[in-house]
Amino acid sequence: MNKNILNNEITKFENCRIIRNGNIVKDDLWVRNGVIINPEPVFYEERVSADVVVDCQESLIAPGFIDVQINGGFGYDFSSDNHIIVEALNAVRKGILRSGVTSFCPTIVTSPKEVYYEVIPQIKRDQGGASGAEILGIHLEGPFISPNKKGAHPVDFIKGLENGIETVLDTYGSLTDVAILTLAPELPKAGEVIRKLVEHGHSNGNLLHGEKAVSNGASFITHLFNAMLPFHHRDPGLVGLLTSQYIPQPIYYGIIADGIHTHPAALRIAHRTLSKGLVLVTDAMAALGLGDGLHQIGQLVVEVKGREAFLKGTDTLAGSIAPMNECIRRFMKAAEVGIVEGVEAASLHPARLLGIADKKGSLNFGADADFVLLNGSIPEEVEVLHTFIGGRCVYSDPSAKSIVCQFCC
């Protein structure tokens, strides 16, 4: 079987189940030119059949996962490896295919100005493929955050918004390929900045600050519960945005479901309060795929032991080492939900957050053919057998014994 799909060639994936429109359906998946197509007009109007037929052997086909917050992985850190950023991107975008991630937002944490000026111009939106997952745009996490809720961000480089949007532009140099910008809504002049931007987080702000931020256009709470005021019955903080009566638009919130950052009970509370806004993120750092030892996140050193990553010599969490498929599995168990909800929190929801749900995050007709084949016999394990981008196989689990392997790279 030819591993390269020719233009206009139609591939039919059969003998599979598909996650579509909130359900698991028994159906075939048809792909042409990197896009999922409706087979009916192809058959009845064009009067053609599939050029290639792939037997999925009862696998479950799910939309490719989208990670909107990942700091690095496989020994690389996007915020400190600024001199080899292209090498770092290539290593990470290739490595995360094994966990089913087909697109992502490389995240830059609070850094010196010169790092932004060197790194940001080198990270471009880029289609995925054999080279790895698609780059959807940069996530800038800082430096406009609260010094009281800095987490793994060096306090020396945290800044205020003295001159509003001019300060933002001067700090970063360019926002051309930026998809998400995290800032604290309680900062002076945050309102005027948020009206031009979209994100907020790492905040010491209360509910009122959050409501004002959302009214100015903010739409995402970066890693809910972490690096923000805790819930209090007289001021629920940013957590209260999940049930606020004063927000004019849908609100989304990130959850690091690695079993470390968020207690299962807290995760259940968030999910049962606003399930459609939950976006799974890994917040993965350089140790992803490696394990114990000393690693870098931005300007700081992180010590990893087991599944935990802390700033060296402290008890401050510094990112995660959990891949996305593990986060989905842990979310499903903690929130007591099935595979459909687990997958949608890592695909459809982030796609909606980024405004790209017409092309990403689903297996609807017209969407990009970015998808994963999961072990159909135990889908709850979220075991990734194969990852496809644009209808082409870009990763195959070496241990997966399937005819699909003949179709893979």
- Domains of the chain are 10-63+361-407 (2.30.40.10), 65-354 (3.20.20.140)
Backbone φ/ψ region at 395: left (φ over 0), alpha (ψ -120 to 50), beta: beta
End-to-end CA distance of the chain: 11
Short-list 191, 183, 192, 185, CA closest to 159:
183
Q: Which pair of tokens denotes residue 361?
A: 């995050």
CA dist., res. 19 & res. 376, Å (int): 12
Q: Which residues pair with 96 in a beta bridge?
A: none
CA dist., res. 136 & res. 177, Å (int): 8
Binding residues for Zn(2+), as ranges, are: 141, 202, 223
Binding residues for substrate, as ranges, are: 152, 226-227, 234, 261, 317-319
For 102, residues 6+ apart whose C-beta sits below 8 A from its C-beta are: 64, 65, 66, 128, 133, 134, 370, 371, 372, 387, 388, 389
The dihedral of CA 333, 383, 377, 364: what is its sign? positive
Q: Out of 283, 315, 358, 370, which one is annotated catalytic? A: 283
Angle at 69 between CA 359 and CA 99, to 5 degrees: 70
Q: Which pair of tokens denotes residue 223?
A: 């890693």
Binding residues, as ranges, are: 141, 152, 202, 223, 226-227, 234, 261, 317-319
CA torsion, ordered 261, 267, 269, 272, to nearest 10 deg: 150
Q: Which residues pair with 24 in a beta bridge?
A: 19
CA dist., res. 326 & res. 321, Å (int): 10
Which stretches of 183-277 are DSSP H helices?
190-194, 207-215, 264-273
CA dist., res. 99 & res. 280, Å (int): 13
Question: Annotated catalytic, 283?
Answer: yes
- Reading the chain (409 residues) residue by residue, the pLDDT tens digits are 344 445 789 999 999 999 999 999 999 999 999 999 999 888 778 788 889 999 999 999 999 999 999 999 999 999 998 899 999 999 999 999 999 999 999 999 989 999 999 999 999 999 999 999 999 999 998 788 877 655 567 687 888 888 888 999 999 998 889 988 888 777 888 877 877 665 444 444 443 444 445 544 456 676 454 444 455 444 555 555 555 555 555 678 889 999 998 889 888 888 888 888 899 999 999 999 998 999 988 888 889 988 888 888 888 888 899 999 999 999 999 999 999 999 999 999 999 989 999 999 999 999 999 999 999 888 889 999 999 999 999 999 988 765 555 555 4
